Amino acid sequence: LKGQRLVPGLSLICPRSDISDLKTTLFSELQFSAAHLHRNVSGIKMDPEGSCAEDDPHIKLMMKGSTLRKVKSRFWKKQRHFRLLEDGMTIWYKSGWTGQGHSKFSVSDLEAVREGHQSEVLLSIAEEFPAELCFTLVFHGRQGNLDLVAESQDEAQAWIQGVRKLIHKTQTMDEQERQDQWVRDWFQKADKNKDGKMNFKEVKKLLKMMNVDMNEDHALRLFTMADKSESGFLEIEQFVHFYKILTQRDEVWKVFQDYSGDGETLTLEELESFLRLEQQEAEQSSHHATELIHRYEPSESAMKQSAMTLDGFQMYLCSLDGSIFKPELLELHQDMNQPLSHYFISSSHNTYLLEDQLRGQSSLEAYIQALKRGCRCVEVDCWDGSDGEPVVYHGHTLTSKILFRDVISTLRDYAFKVSEFPVIVSLENHCCLEQQNVMASHLRQILGDMLLSAPLDGQIPERLPSPQQLRGKILLKAKKIGGLETCVDETLTDEVSEEEEVADGDPESPNTEGPQEEKKKKKSKLSRELSDLVIYCKSVHFHSFEQARSSAKCYEMSSFSESKAKKLSKEA
């Protein structure tokens, strides 16, 4: 089927093996479409006691509107009028002195609200505006966040708590509500003149944006049917109706008809038969079928009869319950008691960059997003700061700088939001001894017990501990003076060779692979305080497989560029 997209991120798993032999449906397209035009489109269900009720003080204030400062930098702080529109899902704002231009976005575009100075921009104005007035609206994907400052603490809390309630509401929508809201969001984005309606030409353009391939004559017939007022335009709810009938899946209707005795619903026994024969779900099929009806059936009357309509059947197929992927495998099921080196992990390179590596922005948000995606190894490139505080950026480029201590604070706050397993901080150290000591102090003070600063049992390991043993711990990967055996030996020099510096540097940088660079034996100073924090991830230069097999320690590790890794793979 060409481009008939149902819900973003969900795949329709068609359980029939003979799908190529499907015949025409029992009803004509127009009969089928007309029947669905009379069905109600579900929107957000406002629970009388739910967080979106009209008497909620936070939502009420948001609908009334507030003047908030939109902040882009220390020097760009402008007042905007914000308010929640009557649909309870759209936040609208405009400047106070320009009567025409305005912007708006859907609550479903938001991922979270962060309270206080939790962005570089808000940290930069911390002396001017206290934390209790500040908050950040975090958007899904690559869309930039929105930093705001309220006039009072009560007003800030109203927006923070109100938006959180609305986000929670979107996250707890059922499948039908989620699909309908997705369609509404597309309508809002495509409504360029903001008049809340579209003619057929505009609708065709929107459907192309939504990746829906269609027969234009058929689409026009359905458009005319959906246009009950015969105005030549569809308003937002009419468009939701139109989209639903246009994207009905014939193969779903065919499978439904194969198992439905009356062509209108699946009884409990018929749904059980489908689950057993098509989905190969034989165990507890009766109980499971009942659960699916209660979970996905939008019709109250059908639910009372323990039956499922076509709409409920389609929502089930598009859900995780209908996915070909085994639900139990979504949870942790692997053995996490093997040595750390036995696992593949999600790692990040130049984590601090949001954009390109030459002039891009360094940002705490980049670390937050990486950790929230489950990344377990992040990179921190440290350089001397002008005021004695180490900074993080891509050295010798025009990328912006962020403070090392702010990066470490961010790691503390977000390292274990998604996963309890250890996070490795890959430290690329270019700092002088004094600022290395500052880095060591920040690591100890900010991370506290999260930081692994000694072997788990006080013994020199013969193999690495497991992820299970290292839960909730942050490990430092960097150069180290000597090894774990001699980490407290005061007679050791505080110098390390440039060979180790090469291994610890950026493997994609041109100067890390040149033969002349690798031959240099220059020494660089390393802070003992920082060195002592490196326990199970000591960065070393890789000499050869023979040397590694004969004398390498379990806690030593090397970094490779892609080209070097390909070359070594042929030797292994």
Query: pLDDT tens digits for 533-554?
Result: 999 999 999 999 999 999 999 9
* Catalytic annotation present for 543: no
Q: Which two tokens stand for residue 296?
A: 């996905």
Mind listing the pLDDT tens digit for each residue in 105-141?
999 999 999 999 999 899 999 999 999 999 999 998 8
For the cut 70, the answer to whether the pLDDT of residue 508 exceeds it is no
Residue 149, strand partner residues: 69, 134
For 294, counting Cβ atoms within 10 Å of its Cβ (0-12 exposed, 13-18 middle, 19+ buried), the class is exposed
Label the pairing between strands 495-497 and 77-84.
Answer: unpaired
| Contact indicator for 62, 84 with CB cutoff of 8 Å | yes
**Catalytic residue from among 36, 81, 349, 430:** 349
Among 90-104, 259-273, 445-459, 525-539, the minimum mean pLDDT is found in 90-104
For the cut 60, the answer to whether the pLDDT of residue 510 exceeds it is no
| Contact indicator for 245, 218 with CB cutoff of 8 Å | no
Residue 70, strand partner residues: 78, 148
In the DSSP assignment, the letter for residue 568 is H
Highest mean pLDDT (candidates 69-73, 317-321, 516-520, 546-550): 69-73
Does this model's pTM top 0.85? no
pLDDT band, very low/low/confident/very high, at 523 (cuts 50, 70, 90): low
pLDDT in the model for residue 163: 96
**Catalytic residue from among 394, 442, 541, 543:** 394
* Catalytic annotation present for 349: yes
Instruction: Give the domains, in start order, of the chain with CATH numbers.
Output: 24-40+178-322 (1.10.238.10), 57-171 (2.30.29.30), 343-571 (3.20.20.190)
SS3 at position 539: strand
Mind listing the pLDDT tens digit for each residue in 434-468?
999 999 999 999 999 999 999 998 888 889 999 99
Candidates 438, 447, 566; CA nearest to 507 is 566
Label the pairing between strands 474-478 and 90-95.
Answer: unpaired
Sheet holding 134-139, edge to edge: 103-106, 90-95, 77-84, 66-71, 146-149, 134-139, 110-115
